[in-house]
Amino acid sequence: MKLFYRFILLLLAVSSCSGNAQEVVIADQNAAYSIIVPVDASPAEMKAAKVLQDYIRRVSGRPLLITQEGSSIIGNAIYIGHTKKEAQAILGKLPHESYRIQMVGKDLLICGGSGKGLIYGVYTFIEKYLGCRKVADAPAIVRQSKQVIIPSNLKEEGRPQFEYRESYYPASRDAEYLEWNKLQQFEDLWGLWGHSYDKLVPAGMYFKKHPEYYALVKGVRQPSQLCLSNEDVFVITTAELRKRITVNPDALYWSISPNDDIGYCECEKCKATDDEQGSPAGSLIKFVNRVAKEFPDQKITTLAYGYTHRAPKTLKPAANVYVFLSNIDAYRDQPLTTEGSAAGFRNDVKAWRALTGNLFVWDYITQFTSYLAPFPNLLTLQPNMQFYKENGIKGVFAQGSGDTYGEWAELRSYLTARLLIDDKADIKDLTEVFLNDYYGPAAKFMLQYIGQIHDNMGQSKRKLDIYGNPVNEWNTYLSPDKLDAYSQIFDAAEGAVGNKPEYAERIVRARLPLEYTVLQQAKFYGVEKFGVFVQDDKGAWSVKPGLRQKVANFVANCKKAKVTELSEGGLNPDQYMAEWDAIFAAGVTPTIATGAKVTLKFPFAEDYPAKGSRTLVDGTPGYNDFSYNWLCFYGTDMVATIDLGVAKNITGLKMHFLHDPRHWIFLPPAISVEVSDDGITYRSFASFTNPAPDEHYEKTVKLFQAEAKAKARYMRVTATNSTALPSWRFRDNKKPMIACDEIFVQ
């Protein structure tokens, strides 16, 4: 009730802001307005009228009659849409998607421009003047009152400030949530979305017979991108686009955009354009402009992403071309205006805006490698949106976890939606409103958790990477002691909601990121404290008590929360459970090297530090994710010397190397294992070779195992890296990487 009274006070303040306005009762037990629609009311006008009728009934218990204009009207009315009443009032034409809510005499008019302006106006009225809210893909919150009262001088006009507005989260599956919060979906607007070269000129259909249609990369034709100077490519593209437009004539946008790959064309003609324009975007815009000229009534979009992020020097996109600029390379712990890694993006915005007024931004507000991982970026949402508005950005695609549940999915979706409407909205108030509406008595604890994890992240000075993971923060803001403190806050939140299952289920869902972090870090710790396995007094290893049940509970709660994948293109909950079952079944492999000193001749890849050199002797395998407990070597060999402390009897060894071509990780062509008594003179213990990799992208973990006897103090493992990437995975800015997880010395 506290929020309701606060709403009433706000309503009274609004009604007194312009002179001595009186309040008007539009629905109670004694008096009620009727709802009037045009004689030839459109489906949108009828829908808007029925939505308003429904919420007035739900608030006051009083159903208002919907009547066509021209019928006998007794008393005053609420006029919806393009009625004669609106024309007589001479209020003026409204722009696209805008709305007007205005009292004319004692009648209320709700009008809208083209698009969804009218329905936006109705939902604005319902929220601001009926006190209802819809903050998530859950039933709207309706605050009942015996009277529906509005100010007699009510006059409000509004319009979303961005032409395109999407917050890509599960809530967008709720049609009312979209309309209430003035959001859109690319599925509704685009006839062809995103990376589209392979949809327009499929490599599977054309590459074998016509390699000349595709990019010439280092002298070899590859199906990575199109050759945009090839005339046949233009003909095929326009023909395919024309077919698609015929099938879907109502689509607003059509994407002509590079594949999500590198390898752009370096043929003589494409290169000449790119050299002249100082960017591979030169040949892209030249091609897209030519396509756009064939379809002057369509809006053509293209991606300034990856190799096309930098704007051409002088080549302007055509008037019906929209450029979608990505900021994928920027960290998220600081606003884009101050974040050092966003300097290139800021320059790109300036350069593209000098060429076109049709600029959209593809933003990233989640961690793609771990949708459920804590990702404390809430403080950057508003300054980033303000940066877009101030720099003339026309639309924003805020990419969250998509159709699967991710950390703070409901809150991020709601805040982003509201900032897309008004970048100057009070973000603190919005957050508190959401938490009170969605978590009820637990709101203060949820707010406490948000504040605490953001403070801890800020104090850690760590970079917030959309391709990071919760293991990397094992000793910063996601350390075990901090995870325990966060968990205590959630315990208090659960206690506060008592026997209110709706709120309790939401808290369980919001807690999933902490549980996920604990489980992922358990893999990382392995046989150490906070790990998967514990050792008894007799030296036997077993799964930590309660861990199996903890994993099972987590998986069950993921399913309830509609988690369909834990990362972009990653495991679903059942597959995650299967992965854990395999970990439990594998147990602990004995090794006399656990905890030994390891010396590396060459440094490991700093982006994936794991436990440093200790990774190779921590007793814990890396499982399937190279970024967790694998030691990676980028462009160099792995030469690791293990000091066992004293000479020991060695009967064999085994170790795993990873093959993950998508991340440019390949098996070492050769591996040699040597032993030594003094660390100076070495003798051979085992060796392995691997053939050059065939073209495929499947991730595999290969075991290398040898049985041999030796007594030695030192063991040196030399894994030779490839001298170059295979031609089918060649990229200018990449080198081959090798990854080893553990050297088990037996």
Q: Residues 423-481: pLDDT tens digits?
A: 999 999 999 999 999 999 999 999 999 999 999 999 999 999 999 999 989 999 999 99
Determine the average pLDDT of the residues in 681-708.
Answer: 90
Residue extent(s) of CATH 3.20.20 domains in the chain: 186-425
- Among 270, 193, 194, 187, residue whose Cα is nearest residue 234: 270
How many other C-beta atoms are found inside a 10 Å radius of the C-beta of residue 101? 21
| pLDDT (tens digit per residue) in 123-174 | 999 999 999 999 999 999 999 988 888 888 999 999 999 999 999 999 999 9
Per-residue pLDDT, 625: 77
Element (H, E) at 559: helix 547-560
Do residues 94 and 113 lie in contact, with contact meaning Cβ atoms separated by under 8 Å?
Answer: yes
In sequence order, the 6+-apart residues with CB closer than 8 A to the CB of 569 are none
Q: What pLDDT score was predicted for residue 477?
A: 97
The CATH architecture to which 597-745 belongs is Sandwich (2.60)
Q: Which residues pair with 110 in a beta bridge?
A: 80, 101
**Residue range(s) occupied by CATH 2.60.120.260 in the chain:** 597-745
The answer to whether residue 121 scores a pLDDT higher than 70 is: yes
Q: How far apart are CA 107 and CA 462, in angstroms?
A: 57
Q: What is the pTM of this model?
A: 0.90
pLDDT of 5 = 32
Between these two residues, 31 and 373, which has the higher pLDDT value? 373
Distance CA 28, CA 659 (A): 71
> In the predicted model, is pLDDT for residue 323 greater than 50?
yes
Confidence of residue 262 (pLDDT cuts 50, 70, 90): confident
The Cα 727–Cα 216 span in angstroms is 12
Give the model's pLDDT for residue 4: 32
Q: What pLDDT score was predicted for residue 117?
A: 97
Both structure tokens of 281: 């975007």
Q: Helix-strand-coil percent breakdown of the chain, rounded to 5?
A: 40, 20, 40
599 phi and psi angles, rounded to 5 deg: -115, 130
- pLDDT, position 10: 35
CB within 8 A of 27, min separation 6: which ones? 33, 56, 59, 60, 62, 64, 147, 148
d(CA 300, CA 296): 9
Q: How many helices (H) and strands (E) does the chain have?
A: 21, 26
The tokens describing 557, both together, are 């709660």
Let me know: does 291 contact 234? Beta carbons within 8 Å. yes
pLDDT score of 91: 77
Tell me the H-state helices in 423-546: 427-439, 443-460, 480-497, 501-525
Q: What is the CATH number of domain 186-425?
A: 3.20.20
Mean pLDDT computed over 253-275: 96
**Alpha carbon 607 to its chain's center:** 21
Cα distances (angstroms) measured from residue 465 to each of 210, 328, 369, 406: 40, 10, 10, 16
Judge contact between 384 and 335, C-beta under 8 A: yes
Q: How far apart are CA 451 and CA 333, in angstroms?
A: 14
Token pair listed for 123? 């939902």
Structure confidence at residue 8 (pLDDT): 32
The four Cα atoms 505, 175, 421, 82 give a dihedral, to 10 degrees, of: -140
Name the segment(s) of the chain with CATH classification 3.30.379.10.
Answer: 2-159
C-alpha span between 532 and 468 (Å, rounded) = 22
Report yes or no: 506 and 441 within 8 Å, Cβ to Cβ.
no
What is the reported pLDDT for 29?
A: 66
Q: What are phi and psi of 109, to 5 degrees?
A: -115, 130
Q: Which residues contact 625 (CB under 8 A, 6 or more apart)?
A: 469
User: DSSP letter string over 131-181?
Assistant: --B--SSSPPB----S-EEEETT-EEEE--SSSEEEEESGGGG-HHHHHHT
Distance CA 26, CA 514 (A): 48
d(CA 58, CA 27): 11
Tokens found for residue 400: 């969250």
CA distance 318 to 330: 28
pLDDT band at 699 (very low <50, low <70, confident <90, very high): confident
Query: What pLDDT score does 460 carry?
Result: 96
**CA dist 499 → 142, 177, 442, 502 (Å):** 21, 27, 12, 9
DSSP letter (8 states) at residue 506: H
Tell me: pLDDT of 707 over 60. yes
The stretch 177-187 carries a mean pLDDT of: 97
Residues 6+ apart with CB under 8 A from 9: none
* Cα–Cα distance for residue pair 88/66, rounded to 1 Å: 21
Q: Are 321 and 274 in contact (CB under 8 A)?
A: no
Phi, psi (rounded to 5 degrees) for 478: -120, 30
| Closest residue by Cα to residue 620 from 660, 575, 587 | 587
682: closest CA among 672, 690, 669?
Answer: 672
Which residues lie below 8 Å from residue 458, measured CB to CB, with a gap of 6+? 333
- Distance, in Å, from the CA atom of 502 to the CA atom of 442, rounded to the nearest integer, reads 12
Q: How far is residue 393's CA from residue 580's CA, in Å, rounded to a whole number?
A: 45
Q: Which positions ≥6 away from 465 have C-beta within 8 Å?
A: 331, 332, 367
The single residue listed with the structure tokens 């975007």 is: 281
CA dist 365 and 398 (Å) reads 6
Crossing angle between the packed helical segments 480-497 and 501-525, to the nearest 10 degrees = 170
Of the candidates 671, 658, 664, 650, the residue with the CA atom closest to the CA atom of residue 703 = 658
DSSP string over 215-262: EEETTEEEEEEE-TT-HHHHHHHHHHHHHHHHH-TT--EEE----SS-
Q: Which helix (H) or strand (E) holds 27?
A: strand 23-27
Strands ordered across the beta sheet of 395-399: 164-168, 395-399, 359-364, 321-326, 299-304, 253-255, 190-192
Lowest model confidence (mean pLDDT) among 107-116, 146-155, 517-526, 635-644: 146-155
Q: Give tens-digit pLDDT for 3-51.
A: 333 333 333 333 333 334 567 777 776 667 899 999 999 999 999 999 9
Among the four given CATH numbers 3.40.50.300, 3.40.630.30, 3.30.379.10, 3.50.30.30, the one describing domain 2-159 = 3.30.379.10
Structure tokens at 458: 């800020």
- Residues whose CB falls within 8 Å of the CB of residue 327, separated by 6 or more in sequence, listed in order: 336, 342, 345, 361, 362, 363, 364
Higher per-residue confidence, 73 vs 656: 656
